[in-house]
Amino acid sequence: MEKILIVETNQTTYGDSRDATGLWLGETTEFALAMTEAGYQVDYVSPKGGYVPLDPRSMKYADKESMALYAKKDFQDRALAHTLAPKEVTPEDYAAIYYAGGHGVMWDFPQNQALAELAEKIYQQGGYVTSVCHGIAGLLNLREANGDYLIKGKKVTGFTTAEEILAGKRRVVPFLNQVEAKKRGANFIKKRAYARFAVQDGRLITGQNPFSAKAVAEKLLLALQDK
């Protein structure tokens, strides 16, 4: 059985503030459900391993299927309480890596070298690198074997500047994903704010916002079936 690795944040607050953030639940659950229903095994990793906090705002957007998965002991244990640390992961075991979002990732994804090495190895062995929403922050500093940014010259999407403004977090976040992706030479494309949208460029698949996790999963499943 092929396996998929889901990356989640350990960050509990917006920077040093007291405002809670963390994983956007549906961005993991909707993707994980699509993968497992298609017969893939899913594992969970985070920058530090261990506990993954939930963004409290994400709970009201979770659908019935997401809440059912959230209620399961296996999910609570492996996806939230005891995620793997990067050093516990063997990249050769995975057909794809998926960076889930939530604002927390902007503080602990981009500079985590251990996570970057996992993703780069999965990509170099012919696997897929995928993300949704703020999860694109984990892709920003990934490199090709020749040293170029992985997203350079490629079509990508993620949480847009307009969506950040609408979310009221423009001046809270440490950077803007749309701006940083363009700085690295990516062809950042987008639809209207909060529209369901995902784009594929080779073995790179990215989704725009929290409503795009299933769209990323659909594109990945099609790509894996065609391999």
222: domain CATH number is 3.40.50.880
Which tokens in the block code for residue 177?
């994903």
- CB neighbourhood size of 120 (10 A): 18
pLDDT of residue 1: 57
Model pTM above 0.75: yes
pLDDT of residue 37: 97
Q: How many residues does the chain have?
A: 227
pLDDT of residue 227: 73
In terms of DSSP bridges, do strands 3-7 and 41-45 run parallel, antiparallel, or are they unpaired? parallel
pLDDT of residue 167: 95
Q: What is the pLDDT along the chain (227 residues), one digit of tens a residue?
A: 589 999 999 999 999 999 999 999 999 999 999 999 999 999 999 999 999 999 999 999 999 999 999 999 999 999 999 999 999 999 999 999 999 999 999 999 999 999 999 999 999 999 999 999 999 999 999 999 999 999 999 999 999 999 999 999 999 999 999 999 999 999 999 999 999 999 999 999 999 999 999 999 999 999 999 87
| DSSP of the chain | --EEEEE-----BSTTSS-B--B-HHHHHHHHHHHHHTT-EEEEE-SSSB--PBPGGGGGG--HHHHHHHTSHHHIIIIIISBBPGGG--GGGEEEEEE--STTHHHHSTT-HHHHHHHHHHHHTT-EEEEEGGGGGGTTT-B-TTSSBTTTTSEE--S-HHHHHHTT-TTTSSS-HHHHHHHTT-EE---STT---EEEETTEEEE-SGGGHHHHHHHHHHHHHH-
Q: What angle do CA 193, 194, 198 make, to 5 degrees?
A: 100
Question: For 93-134, what is the HEC assignment?
Answer: HEEEEEECCCCCHHHHCCCCHHHHHHHHHHHHCCCEEEEEHH
Enclosing domain of residue 145: 3-226
Q: How many domains, in total, are found in the chain?
A: 1
Q: From the centroid of its chain, how far is CA 109?
A: 9
